[in-house]
Amino acid sequence: MRYRTIAFLLLFISSACHAESWQLEVDKEGIQVFLSTPKGSSFKAYRAETTIKAQPQAIANMLADMSLSCRLMYGCKQARLIKQEGYDYWGYSQIKATWPVSDRDLSIHSHAEQGKNGTITITMSALPQNVPAVKDHIRITKLDGFWKFIPVDAQTTKVIYQVAAEPGGDVPAWLANKFVVDGPFKTLKAFRQHAEAME
């Protein structure tokens, strides 16, 4: 159970935008997961890719719905939107752990923008001081990443989900890195199943 908990945490922590070389770790069910080690960190960053039979905006709307996206994200216990201003979003999430690992939480800022070719990019970064500390939760203080939704054709989107961060607390990097693949793989699989069921 401890190993499963570590995989939960690494969905949100694992910055990514600064990783240098990516190594393919998983390639199955139409989902690829790559890992890399960012400069200055012992924790692996991940980059997961797949294609979904849905339009970019439909998938972006799923992510913006924090109640829905929490149900689809591997290990998410609860999530809520704190504030929205235009294409900027401030949110708060909790990640469920099992004893003896403490639950984690995350205060995050996201920004969405759409390119001329229809690609939607949502960048995200931790804002650890934006929400007061919550009892029995360890705050994730380092996180950078993005979602990218790239139109392939009228009904197909390439999805890239990239994250790097550190879990805080006493989870050692050597152990955490063993389980970094599960979270992004299962998250993209859940998003794909939900999006294609709506089409």
Q: Would the pLDDT of 98 be above 80?
A: no
- Angstrom distance (rounded) from CA 107 to CA 119: 26
Task: For helices 56-64 and 182-198, give the axis angle rounded to 10 degrees.
Answer: 120
pLDDT at 68 over 70: yes
**Which helix H or strand E contains 14, and what residues bound it?**
none
**pLDDT, tens digit, 9 for 90 and up, residues 19-31:** 469 999 999 999 9
Region 167-188: what's the mean pLDDT? 81
Give per-residue pLDDT as tens, 113-171. Answer: 999 999 999 999 999 999 999 998 999 999 999 999 999 999 999 999 999 988 777 77
Quick check: 179 pLDDT over 80? Answer: no
> What pLDDT sits at residue 73?
95
- Pairing label, strands 76-85, 103-114: unpaired
Contact 183, 11 (CB under 8 A): yes
pLDDT digits (tens, 9 = 90+) for 51-60: 999 999 999 9
Instruction: Indicate if the pLDDT at residue 3 is higher than 50.
Output: no
- Is pTM beyond 0.85 here? yes
The angle subtended at Cα 110 by Cα 16 and Cα 21, nearest 5°, is: 10
* Among 99, 165, 168, 100, CA closest to 133: 168
Distance CA 47, CA 49 (A): 7
Higher per-residue pLDDT: 57 or 101 = 57
In the prediction, which pLDDT does 144 show?
95
pLDDT at 11: 52
Structure tokens at 145: 């990443």
pLDDT at 112: 97
Structure tokens at 108: 């995050």
Mean pLDDT of the chain: 88
